[in-house]
C-alpha cells in the first residue's frame, strides 16, 4: 500500500491510501460471497453462487459498496500503524476512487496535543487573606443561633421570630431597555438572590439562572422556595429590606402578598437595583427564639465535649483560627486556579472537533442528571418548556466545553511533566481517615468506601490537590523539592483528567463526609445489617430443624 498523510487544521489527519489491484479484486469476490449468503439466488445454494452470477443478480453497485466498506475496515488498522497515527476515535472513509488506482481517503481525528511553554516562569502575586473581627462576630452569632432555645408559637409574627414559609416571587415591573454600552450590558447580565435561613432540598431560582445574558422580564421568577426557614433579625433582614415589616402580625396558614423594591446601593443586587418584586408568602410555622448571652458559660456549654471546656476568649481565638484556616484554603485554591489559567493562556492546545462534541454531550448529560435529581424532570421536558432545540443547547455549551477541555488537557500535561504521583498506601490511609468518623461502626461502613469507584475518586482528589499545591508553589516562585519517585496507585493512574478536575468540586476536600452522605451510607449499612441478621436467623432455624 502507498500511504500519504496530510495534517488538517482541525486536528484531523487525512490518509490517502492506494490499494493494489489484486487486493481490490479479492475484496470484490469476498464481498460477492458474503452477499450470496444473505440473498437467495435461483439455482444455487446460499454462498455457492459464482461471482459473475452474483454480479448479474445483485448488480455491481451492491458488490462495490460492500467491498469498499469491508476492505476499508480490513486495512484501516494497518494504515494507522504504518502512518504512525494515534487516533482519538475511529476515523471515516471520506471518499473512494477506483481510477486510476483503487484509492481510499480516510479522515482520522487525532489525539489532543498540548505544548505547555515555559510555565515555570509564571509569577502571580499572592495576597494573604485576613479574617476580620466582623467575620468572627458573625461566626459566633451563628453558633449562638444554633444553640438557641426554639419553641413553636401560635402568636402572630414578631421581630426576632423564626418563621417557616413557602416563597413565591416574581419581577413586578417592566425590564429596563437594553443599552448599547458593553459595561451597561454586563451590569444587567446577572441576577442573584440569596435567602437566609436553613438549607433544604429545594432551591431558589431566578430568571438569570437560565441565561446569564438575559435581563429578567416582568413575571420572571425572583425567588421560589418551599419550607424556607427565615430569622427575622432586623440587623440581617432576609431577602429584601421591608420583608420583616411586611410579615409582622401574620398568623400560621396566612397568605400575604406585597411588593418590595430592590436596593439601588446594595452590591448583592447591583444587576437588578431599583426593580420591584411581588411576593406571595404562605406562613407555615412561627417559632420564638431565646438566645443565650455570649459569655464564659455559653462557651463552656458549646465546648463541653472537648478535653477541657473553653472560655469565651478561648472560643473566640479558636473560631478565628478555624476561619483563618478556611480562608487560607480558599485563597490557596483560588490562587492555584489563577496559575493554571495563566498556564492555559500561554499553552498551545489542539484537539479534534470529535473530542469537543463528546465533551459537550457529557456536559448536557450531566445537566440532564442534575435536572432529574434537583427539579424532578428531565432534559426533554426542559427543552419543550423553553422551546430549545438540541442544536441550540449544543451551541450554548460550546464555549464552556472548549474552556473545560483546555484546562483539563493542560492540567493532565502538567501532571505528567511534573511527575506528580501518589504513594502506594495513600489512598488506604485516606479511607481509614474517613472511616474514623464512624467510630466503632467503621468496619460496617468500610464496604461503602473500599470499592474501585470510591478508591478512584479518592485517588483523583488527592492527585488534584497535590498538583494544585505544586502550581501554587510555581506561581510564588518557591523551590520545588524533589518528590520521591513512587509507582502511582492503580486508581490514580487510570483516573481520567476530567475525573481529577472534577475532584476539585467535591465538598469533601479533606477527609470528611457530609451529613447527607452519612445518612445514605447509614441507611445502606442498616439494610446490610438486617440482611445479615436475617441470614443468621435462618441459619439458626435450619440448624434447630436439623437437630430435631
Q: Band of the pLDDT at 435, cuts 50, 70, 90?
A: confident
One domain for residues 160 and 283: yes
The answer to the question of residue 539 being in a domain is no
Q: Which residue has the higher pLDDT, 38 or 340?
A: 340
The answer to the question of residue 310 being in a domain is no
CATH assignment at residue 92: 3.30.70.1050
pLDDT (average), residues 149-170: 94
One domain for residues 87 and 172: no
One domain for residues 66 and 153: no
Helix locations, 294-352, DSSP H: 296-302, 312-346
Which of 220, 255, 290 is the C-terminal boundary of a domain?
290
Handedness of CA 528, 531, 537, 541 (dihedral sign): negative
Residue 472 contacts by C-beta under 8 Å, 6 or more apart in sequence?
Answer: 126, 332, 335, 336, 339
Query: Tens digits of per-residue pLDDT, 55-107?
Result: 888 888 899 999 999 999 999 999 999 999 999 999 999 999 988 899 999 99
pLDDT (average), residues 176-205: 43
One domain for residues 153 and 286: yes
Which of 111, 141, 172 is the C-terminal boundary of a domain?
111
One domain for residues 271 and 221: yes
Query: Residue 272 pLDDT > 90, yes or no?
Result: no
Q: How far is CA 340 from CA 181, 259, 404, in A?
A: 31, 46, 12
Q: What are phi and psi of 106, to 5 degrees?
A: -100, 145
Structural domains counted in the chain: 2
Which of 111, 137, 168 is the C-terminal boundary of a domain?
111
Contact 269, 262 (CB under 8 A): yes
The answer to the question of residue 409 being in a domain is no
Q: What percent of the chain has pLDDT over 90?
A: 52
User: Measuring CA to CA, which residue among 464, 453, 465 is closest to residue 491?
Assistant: 453
Query: Tens digits of per-residue pLDDT, 362-387?
Result: 999 999 999 898 878 889 888 888 88
CATH assignment at residue 269: 3.10.50.40
Query: Tens digits of per-residue pLDDT, 99-132?
Result: 889 999 999 999 999 999 999 999 999 998 899 9
The answer to the question of residue 98 being in a domain is yes
**Domain residues for 190?**
149-290
d(CA 140, CA 143): 5
One domain for residues 91 and 157: no
The answer to the question of residue 299 being in a domain is no
| 255-261/348-350 β-pairing | unpaired
One domain for residues 158 and 249: yes
Residue 205, C-alpha cell as written in the block: 431560582
Contact 247, 163 (CB under 8 A): yes
The whole-chain average pLDDT of the chain stands at: 82
User: Measuring CA to CA, which residue among 280, 282, 279 is closest to residue 253?
Assistant: 282
| Radius of gyration from C-alpha coordinates of the chain | 33
The answer to the question of residue 318 being in a domain is no
Q: Please tell me the predicted confidence (pLDDT) of residue 373.
A: 86
The answer to the question of residue 92 being in a domain is yes
Q: Please tell me the predicted confidence (pLDDT) of residue 448.
A: 83
One domain for residues 283 and 197: yes
One domain for residues 281 and 163: yes
pLDDT (average), residues 501-518: 44
One domain for residues 93 and 204: no
Which DSSP category does 87 fall into?
Answer: B
Q: Please tell me the predicted confidence (pLDDT) of residue 499.
A: 52
Q: Band of the pLDDT at 335, cuts 50, 70, 90?
A: very high
One domain for residues 107 and 153: no
The answer to the question of residue 95 being in a domain is yes
- Using N-to-C axis directions, what is the helix angle for 452-476 and 312-346, rounded to 10°? 80
One domain for residues 160 and 233: yes
Amino acid at each position: 500500500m502507498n500511504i500519504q498523510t496530510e495534517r488538517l487544521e482541525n486536528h484531523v489527519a487525512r490518509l490517502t491510501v492506494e490499494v493494489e489491484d489484486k487486493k481490490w479484486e479479492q475484496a470484490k469476490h469476498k464481498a460477492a460471497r458474503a452477499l450470496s449468503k444473505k440473498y437467495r439466488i435461483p439455482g444455487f445454494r446460499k454462498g455457492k453462487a459464482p461471482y459473475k452470477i452474483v454480479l448479474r443478480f445483485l448488480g455491481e453497485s451492491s458488490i462495490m459498496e460492500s467491498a469498499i466498506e469491508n476492505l476499508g475496515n480490513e486495512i484501516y488498522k494497518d494504515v494507522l500503524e504504518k502512518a504512525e497515527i494515534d487516533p482519538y476515535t475511529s476515523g471515516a472513509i471520506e471518499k473512494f476512487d477506483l481510477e486510476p488506482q483503487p484509492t481510499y481517503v480516510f479522515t482520522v481525528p487525532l489525539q489532543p496535543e498540548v505544548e505547555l511553554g515555559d510555565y515555570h516562569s509564571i509569577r502571580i502575586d499572592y495576597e494573604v487573606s485576613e479574617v476580620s473581627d466582623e467575620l468572627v462576630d458573625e461566626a459566633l452569632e451563628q453558633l449562638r443561633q444554633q444553640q438557641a432555645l426554639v419553641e413553636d408559637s401560635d402568636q402572630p409574627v414578631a421581630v426576632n421570630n423564626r418563621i417557616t414559609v413557602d416563597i413565591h416571587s416574581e419581577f413586578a415591573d417592566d425590564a429596563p431597555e437594553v443599552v448599547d454600552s458593553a459595561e451597561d450590558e454586563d451590569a444587567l447580565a446577572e441576577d442573584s438572590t440569596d435567602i437566609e435561613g436553613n438549607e433544604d432540598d429545594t432551591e431558589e431560582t431566578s430568571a438569570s439562572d437560565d441565561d446569564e445574558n438575559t435581563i429578567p422580564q416582568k413575571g420572571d421568577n425572583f425567588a421560589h422556595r418551599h419550607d424556607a426557614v427565615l430569622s427575622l433579625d432586623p440587623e440581617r433582614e432576609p431577602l429584601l429590606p421591608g420583608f420583616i415589616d411586611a410579615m409582622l402580625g401574620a398568623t400560621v396558614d396566612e397568605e400575604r402578598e406585597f411588593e418590595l423594591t430592590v436596593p439601588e446601593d446594595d452590591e448583592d443586587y447591583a444587576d437588578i437595583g431599583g426593580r420591584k418584586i411581588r411576593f406571595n408568602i404562605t406562613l407555615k410555622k412561627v417559632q420564638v427564639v431565646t438566645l443565650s448571652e455570649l459569655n464564659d458559660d455559653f462557651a463552656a456549654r458549646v465546648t463541653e465535649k472537648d478535653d477541657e471546656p473553653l472560655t469565651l476568649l478561648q472560643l473566640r481565638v479558636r473560631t478565628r483560627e478555624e476561619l483563618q484556616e478556611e480562608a487560607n484554603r480558599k485563597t490557596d485554591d483560588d490562587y492555584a486556579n489563577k496559575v493554571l489559567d495563566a498556564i492555559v493562556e500561554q499553552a498551545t492546545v489542539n484537539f479534534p472537533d470529535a473530542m469537543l462534541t463528546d465533551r459537550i454531550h457529557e456536559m448536557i448529560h450531566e445537566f440532564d442528571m442534575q435536572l432529574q435529581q434537583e427539579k424532578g424532570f428531565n432534559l426533554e421536558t426542559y427543552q419543550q418548556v423553553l422551546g430549545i432545540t438540541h442544536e441550540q443547547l449544543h451551541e450554548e455549551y460550546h464555549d464552556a466545553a472548549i474552556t473545560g477541555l483546555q484546562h483539563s488537557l493542560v492540567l493532565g500535561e502538567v501532571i505528567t511533566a511534573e511527575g506528580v504521583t501518589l504513594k502506594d498506601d495513600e489512598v488506604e490511609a485516606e479511607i481509614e481517615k474517613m472511616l474514623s468518623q464512624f467510630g466503632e461502626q467503621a468496619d460496617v461502613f468500610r464496604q461503602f468506601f473500599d470499592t474501585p469507584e470510591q478508591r478512584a475518586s479518592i485517588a483523583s482528589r488527592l492527585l488534584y490537590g497535590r498538583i494544585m499545591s505544586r502550581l501554587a508553589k510555581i506561581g510564588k516562585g518557591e523551590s520545588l523539592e524533589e518528590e520521591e519517585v513512587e509507582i502511582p496507585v492503580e486508581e490514580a493512574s487510570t483516573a481520567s483528567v476530567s475525573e481529577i478536575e472534577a475532584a476539585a468540586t467535591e465538598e469533601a476536600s479533606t477527609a470528611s463526609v457530609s451529613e447527607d452522605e452519612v445518612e445514605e451510607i447509614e441507611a445502606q449499612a442498616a439494610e446490610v445489617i438486617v440482611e445479615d441478621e436475617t441470614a443468621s436467623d435462618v441459619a439458626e432455624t435450619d440448624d434447630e430443624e436439623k437437630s430435631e
